[in-house]
Structure 1
């Protein structure tokens, strides 16, 4: 029913079923993971009025609700790095605990819990009101480090388009090219804010 893909790795379909409404994926080498995509395979839809909570278990830190899937939203990308916050354990999350790796292991667990949509909306609303990011992308207007990282990536991608083989220490970049990027960049920011940086991931 579910698939999982860590950016830069092969697709995972090795889902471990806990019971009728709970399952999980193991995510090895978790400290190297930036983003993970979770999706419905398309063969079995959710029952009417139900969806799926997506949780991350990080050894030694407990569970964190990342977001949800539904028939209307059959896939989502979540940013794992720098999004973990202190969490509370619930009965739903406890169902996974007997199947988890030892705290010293670098394997994280991506837990999936099928629940009524109304219940999922309440969980997501409580995360948003607590200021926890539910979606994969950070709010660039509130995270200066993430904003700076995206701006630098945008500059490097722009310059790489002119250098052919990418940007290396040996490549000389004319200041006129950086000035042209700067003018284009400011035009985009003035026209629509920094949203285009989120799409440039």
Structure 2
């Protein structure tokens, strides 16, 4: 039995992982697109060294690149021996922050990668991730409010068909079309607050 284990919701516990470096371990996760949550834990075989934690990453092949997408999820430590991670759509992250850049093979499929790192570095990485998530929440809220304001403003110009006077230089857009567009943008924003950047 290894130092680490994981369980994907609805599947059996897995405790056999591959050690790819002195401080790095990998679990292959079959059919990861059907997994919503995973729990990663210390098995209790041994404790982590004092002052260290296990940073947890999800690695997925990128169909548009030979390099995989590697996403930091959080950490476990002796004082926090397990954690639940919600898997969403893969997100690109700065490759320089990733300790696995040269160690993992994308053809191995989706993986849970674990790197034993100094606790203060892992805590800082988690703090940076929280700050990024807060920024995304603010962007999402501002965008949502702007859409709402735009929709109300445009609707204030609505006229009924009976009020319409043919004007060759004017174009009319049904308010229902505007409402469908706003709903579509809000749905995409909920899935990925940065979708508009691509």
Using the size of structure 2 for normalisation, the TM-score is 0.60
Aligned length: 129
Q: Does 1:87 align with 2:93?
A: yes
Q: For the residues of structure 2 that align with 1:48 and 1:39, how far apart are their CA atoms?
A: 17
Per-residue deviation at 1:124? 0.8
Q: Does 1:76 align with 2:83?
A: yes
Aligned CA RMSD, in angstroms, stands at 2.1
Q: Deviations over 1:155-180 (max 9, x none)?
A: xxxxxxxxxxxxxxxxxxxxxxxxxx
Residue 24 of structure 1: which of 23, 26, 29 is its match?
26
Q: For the residues of structure 1 that align with 2:37 and 2:20, how far apart are their CA atoms?
A: 24
| Secondary structure in 1 matching 2:54 | strand
Larger Rg: 2
| Secondary structure in 2 matching 1:77 | strand
Residue 182 of structure 1 aligns with which residue?
none
Residue 166 of structure 2 aligns with which residue?
none
Segments ≥4 residues shifted beyond 6 Å: none
Q: For the residues of structure 1 that align with 2:71 and 2:38, how far apart are their CA atoms?
A: 14
Residue 56 of structure 2: which of 39, 54, 59 is its match?
54
Using the size of structure 1 for normalisation, the TM-score is 0.59
Q: For the residues of structure 1 that align with 2:100 and 2:126, how far apart are their CA atoms?
A: 15
Q: Does 1:101 align with 2:107?
A: yes
Q: Which runs of 5+ in 1 are unaligned?
A: 134-141, 143-201
Q: Deviations over 1:104-157 (max 9, x none)?
A: xxx311100000001101111111111179xxxxxxxx8xxxxxxxxxxxxxxx
Q: Deviations over 1:18-69 (max 9, x none)?
A: 1110011000011101011100000110100000100001211611100000
Report if aligned partners of 2:8, 2:39 keep a CA contact under 8 Å in 1: yes
Q: For the residues of structure 1 that align with 2:9 and 2:86, how far apart are their CA atoms?
A: 10
Report if aligned partners of 1:28, 1:108 keep a CA contact under 8 Å in 2: yes
Q: Does 1:65 align with 2:72?
A: yes
Q: Which runs of 5+ in 2 are unaligned?
A: 63-67, 136-140, 142-198
Residue 123 of structure 1 aligns with which residue?
125
